[in-house]
Amino acid sequence: MLNKASGEALETLAVLREANCRSEITDALSGYVVSMIEEIATLAPDSDLLQDISAQKESTDRVSAVPGGFNNDRALKKAQIHIQHAEKLCIEMAQAGKLSVSRAKQFQQDLYWLHVSVFVEAHIQQGNYYLDRDDKLLAMSHYKHAKAMIARANVPQKQKQDYIDTIRELLNRARPSSAMAAGNLAASLEELTAKEKKEEQS
């Protein structure tokens, strides 16, 4: 039981570090895992299990943020599962007296925002990918998804503002340029004029 719980907590910790989660949260989770490992050491001091989980802990401690690491559906699903698991671990820590209830609630709010941010950034990256390839319609589709997620996010407006500004700028870049629009308008007017002339002549 402890083996499974500590292994899952370490996987979650690795994902949080990849997602550049606040160090206050990862430090608290790391401390919680250490307490589990100490319990395993007391119950089975010379076991392979202890060696395996200690090696996994060392490996997890070396994980660092991976910008753009969650850029496909599989990676996003993995992030979603582990961020939600981290929220449950915060409740566990509070119940075990390792975290105050107020800090556990704050951590849950921070993890909720991390979850939103991971998905928004993935859509922005995908949008940028298509914009670089001049596929403006697909780019706009991803930017609009990101915009909708930010709009729905249950956090203060101030917290959202940087994303709102970034997405607005990207949407403007992805829209057909005003010169093109003017060109299309001019072409349409010419076509209409030609049509009218033709009708007059007939």
Across 46-58, average pLDDT? 90
> What angle do helix axes 2-18 and 23-43 make, rounded to 10 degrees?
160
Distance CA 31, CA 49 (A): 19
Give Cβ neighbours of residue 2 (< 8 Å, ≥ 6 apart): 36, 39, 40, 43
Which of 31-45, 114-128, 136-150 has the lowest average pLDDT? 31-45
Mean of the per-residue pLDDT values for the chain? 90
pLDDT tier, 195 (very low <50, low <70, confident <90, very high otherwise)? low
Distance CA 128, CA 149 (A): 17
Residue 98 has pLDDT above 50, yes or no: yes
